[in-house]
Amino acid sequence: MSIQKVAFITGANRGIGLETARQLGKIQGIHVIIGSRDLAKGQAAAEALRAEGADVEAVRFDITRPEDYREIFEFLDKKFGKLDILINNAGIAKEDFFKSTVSTVSPAVLRETFETNFFGAVELTQTLLPLIKKAPEGRIVNLSSILGSLTLHADPKSPIAGSKAFAYNASKAALNAFTIHLAHELRRTKIKVNSAHPGWVKTEMGTEAAPMEIPDGARTSVALATLPADGPTGAYIHLGETLPW
């Protein structure tokens, strides 16, 4: 069994996922596997990170293809015999965050959004959990968003009150529920499960209007992936601060 920590990050060939891979592989010395729908793009990203000194490799992985879950399980099991860190980073947004309305969102957009942002993350985690249980101290990080906070959405004075992209927001609220339930199930183990809000970051999804740079957007994921034994579990975190569910 591999002694070095091993991390698998979905949707990690660009944006926050790529930066998370950089920080874990280069600064933390963790062996990182980048999951990318387009293997060529993933390999190019991994090669660039290796040139910077990060310990990274890429595999083809599509969160919308359930058959890929078993393939990544077999890859990790055969090569490492465990998985220390799973970061459910892959996510999509099909709506306009400020113009979309719940009365007009299509069933197709709802289903597509939930398939990637929620159902895929749940099924992949279930598939890989036996490998995470073989790690000395497993860490599961679910990339959520402050837009998944029902408490803040219900407050007309909150900073997110005007952003009612229902499919995206509901998928992240569901992912938060998964975090709470899985953390409860694993509460007597050394595995920690947390939801991360990266912030509004300058990515393809966040656009250039976002106030945060990508390196800062990865900080919460990296911190939750490397929590000490006395760190939180079943929490909703942004840069060390707890968010309301």
The catalytic residue among 61, 168, 178, 236 is: 168
Contact yes or no for 182/193 (Cβ under 8 A): yes
**Catalytic residue status for 236:** no
Contact yes or no for 96/148 (Cβ under 8 A): no
Question: Quick one: 121 exposed, middle or buried, by C-beta within 10 A (0-12, 13-18, 19+)?
Answer: buried
Q: What DSSP element (H or E) covers 33? A: strand 31-36
Determine the Cα–Cα distance for residues 151 and 180; give it in Å rounded to an integer: 15
Listed residue (231, 163, 173) closest to 200, CA to CA = 163
> What secondary structure does DSSP assign to 135-199, as a single string?
SSS-EEEEE--GGG-HHHHT-TTSTTTT---HHHHHHHHHHHHHHHHHHHHTTTSS-EEEEE---
Which residues are part of the catalytic machinery? 168
